[in-house]
Amino acid sequence: MSPVPVPVPRSAADFTSDFSAAGLDGSLGPGARPALLLVDPATAYTDQASPLYAGVETAVAGMQRLLAAARSHEIPVYVTRVRFSGPGDGGLFARKVPATRVWHEASRWAQFIPGLGPEAGETLITKQYPSAFFGTPLASLLSAARIDTVLVAGLTTSGCIRATALDALQNGFIPIVAKDAVGDRHPQIHASNLVDIQAKIADVETVSWIEDYLASLPASPAP
């Protein structure tokens, strides 16, 4: 019997080249009516005592920049949180990932990272599963506001960001993931998910690119 070949570790650049050769290199381009969707900016990911601590301080800085830009250009802001309050909340997701206990309403780790919670006039979305769309009114709210582009930032890249970007696409909204305003607990998982998201789900851009895009939009008309 011949030996089973051992996979050779490959870089994100290798995968990008493979995807491009296979035709997985399309671009959506931004629309004319964007909104910022800030996914689960919770202290569970930044408090080193939390079981979900992920070392995502750089991503938090990117989220802060993006939120400031969204407010400066007066585009709609939607912020999500996860909340469990009793038995059965979270269903199989909570059963699969016991660490989701940090999302109980009494947990200090379920609170927003300072400065990243919604302000007056911004929309809070409460969810119990990875996608910001699943079991929430988000798609209806975006449609009612005539939003065509969702700028996605938050935590974490391989979980809630990926699920949210996919559901944005499937609901007819252009997803743009801010690669330096999302993060994950392992750099390789973060990088590989961004490559795959870019190939199949969303446009992946920098915070600087998004700032320039927002600056290029026509000014909102006076009320």
**Residue 152 main-chain phi, psi, to 5 deg:** -105, 125
Three-state DSSP state, 76: coil
Name the β-bridge partners of 178.
205
CA–CA separation, 223 and 177 (whole Å): 30
- CA–chain centroid gap for 75, Å, is 17
CA–CA separation, 68 and 103 (whole Å): 26
Cis status, amide bond into 156, omega within 30 of 0: yes
Burial of 209 (0-12, 13-18, 19+ CB in 10 A): middle
CA–CA separation, 134 and 211 (whole Å): 28
Check 35, 160, 161, 166 and give the catalytic one. 160
163 included as an active-site residue:
no
**Residue 137 main-chain phi, psi, to 5 deg:** -85, 15
What residues are annotated to the active site? Answer: 160
